[in-house]
A and B are shown apart, each in its own frame.
Chain A
Amino acid sequence: MRGRLLFVLPLIFFYLSITIYPFLYMIYISFFEYNLAAGGVLKFLGVENYVKVFYDPVARGSIFFTSFITVMGIIVETLLGLLLALLVIGVKGERVMRLCFLIPMTIPMAVSGMIWRMLFNTTFGPINYFLSLFGISRISWTGDPFFAPLTILIVDIWQGTPFVFLILYAGLKSIPPVYIEAAMVDGADEWKLTRYIRLPMLRDLIMVVVLLKSIDLLKLFDSVYMITGGGPGTTTYTFSYLIYQVGFITGINLGYASSLSVILLIVIMLLTTTLIRILNVRRLLGR
């Protein structure tokens, strides 16, 4: 049909100018020292910005923390989301319950960061108050190198679990009722239904959830900025927060920030490629 290419050209042109061209430019400046505040002169460094990642202690720390939060977040949120989905299904008041569990997902990250900053407040925060009822003295949630990573994890569990729950719940809903009925005729109890029918049917979906979550968690930034500010020291620097600090706050070194961004981009693209392969996008093109 004439004109079908014309329909896709605007978007292609848009992506070329807002992503592909900037990315090429970013790869280029990742080989230079580049400081906008100091006049923006490019000084060629070769691969030094890339080598630096391996001996920069802050960068290594942020890679460690990002890995920690990603692994812990995936494990806790997937298990909790699955548990919630299994618990809620078939319960009286299911719709209201589902609605309540989904609310945290709909809240902008900045707003939830603001709420949790109040909740974790050392002097007046309700969390320390609840703990004091059990005789636990005030904890400096954001100032203590042991508790600060935990704080970020708790906030992510709060904000991220509803998404996992939603997807697995929808997956459970789409299991044909005949399977369940047939198994019940054969005398299966709730536990056996879950173990031998529901979980196996969710397997692919759980894989999708894990990949989506890991892509999400590797990019974590908002809650760190809002709640701990990367602190204490650089304990809760995620990779994105490191790039932000290096490129715009402490370092104003856009060359180094670029090389870090290129690394993050490559990791995310690898995960995305895996995800798209699993999802079988071909189906959408009717083949």
Chain B
Amino acid sequence: MKIAPTRIIRYIVLILPFLMFFLFPVYWMVITAIKTSDKWFTWPPTFIPWPFTLDSFLGSGEVYRTASLREVVPFLINSIGISLMTSVLTITLATFTAYSISRFKTGGMRFLSWILSMRMLPPIAVGVPIYVIFYHFGILNTWLALILVYTVFTSSFGVWVLVSFFNDIPRELDEAAYIDGCTLFQAFTKIVLPISLPGIVAVFIISFTLSWGEFLLALLLTYDKAAQTIPVFIGRYITGFQIAWGPIAATGLVAMLPVTILTFIALRYLISGLTLGAVRG
């Protein structure tokens, strides 16, 4: 084969610098999470975590004095609860709107562009006035505060993904239902919704991952474990002094795994959503 040399060069260029650069940080987190506590701070650094331990996850052994996952549980519950409820609210708002836009072009270009632009809003610019308003309503540091702001971003995303999804469902289906005497609401819930399940699941997943990873608004609008989420816990911990590397790496791993897996499941829809449909995955 004539092309063999370029192919080998390609591999070397790809694998050595780039795979190292993109994967080493993840490898470092994984090994730090399972290192024994005497290996956290060594020179040269320890790259092979042997013997390994689960102390950092369980909070047992030497680690118990520093921190453990047990401390993380309230924040984990907040993250799960807030992300789930954001996703539910997002789907409720986005499906109806997307259906109306897909079938009747409700509001036209202006309305659709307005919804899309909501996703681009700078979180800090939303956070400043919302902080003052929620302060006066007394809902700072509650799940509700975060669910409401997150839904601004996720529902914009959801409408986009669902409009293109509904566009692919033949109109004849719901038109047949109208002729049989269904109202708009019935045609939507009984005919269109059931066959749109994949799209709805994708929007659910994307909303979940977006709210799970959000940092800035959670930092502004919450201040203790009544409502603070995992990213804020990690942020507060890592910027403090005397950081125990093992437990924080273990926490990071727990915070990362669910969303990394979910993102890959919904990747196809995520591409189309992220690029506002410029690319269909």
Chain A interfacial positions (CB closer than 8 Å to B): 1-5, 7-8, 10-11, 14-15, 18-19, 21-23, 25-26, 29, 34, 36, 84, 87-88, 91, 97, 99-119, 123-126, 129, 158, 161-163, 166-167, 170-171, 174, 190, 204-205, 208, 212, 215, 218-219, 221-222, 225-226, 229, 240, 243-244, 247-248, 254, 257-258, 261-262, 264-265, 268-269, 271-273, 275-276, 279, 281-286
Q: Looking at the complex, which of B48-56, B61-69, B148-156, B194-202 is the stretch in contact with chain A?
A: B148-156
CA distance A253 to B234 in the complex (A): 27
A1 touches B104 (CB 8 A): yes
B276 touches A244 (CB 8 A): no
* A194 CB, min distance to chain B CBs, angstroms: 12
| A117 touching B152 in the complex, CB below 8 Å, given contacts A19-B121, A110-B231, A215-B120 | no
- Chain B residues with Cβ below 8 Å from A21 are 133
CA distance A282 to B276 in the complex (A): 12
Q: List the B residue with the shortest CB-CB distance to A126.
A: B45
B106 touches A7 (CB 8 A): yes
CA distance A285 to B274 in the complex (A): 19
**Main secondary structure on chain B at its contact with chain A?**
helix
Chain B interfacial positions (CB closer than 8 Å to A): 3, 6-7, 10-11, 13-14, 18-19, 21-26, 28-29, 32, 40-45, 47, 92-94, 96-97, 99-101, 103-109, 111-118, 120-126, 128-133, 135, 148-149, 151-152, 155, 159, 163-164, 167, 178, 183-185, 188, 209, 212-213, 215-216, 219-220, 230-232, 234-235, 238-239, 245, 248-249, 252, 255-256, 259-260, 263-264, 267, 271, 274-281
A3 touches B185 (CB 8 A): yes
| A279 touching B100 in the complex, CB below 8 Å, given contacts A91-B10, A222-B216 | no
Number of A-B contacts (CB under 8 A): 303
- Chain A residues with Cβ below 8 Å from B13 are 87
A-B contact pairs, 26 of them (CB 8 A): A4-B104, A4-B184, A10-B96, A11-B93, A14-B152, A18-B149, A22-B126, A25-B133, A87-B10, A102-B264, A113-B235, A115-B25, A115-B28, A129-B44, A163-B274, A174-B280, A205-B279, A208-B276, A215-B120, A219-B124, A226-B238, A244-B216, A264-B124, A272-B116, A281-B112, A284-B164
* A284 CB, min distance to chain B CBs, angstroms: 6
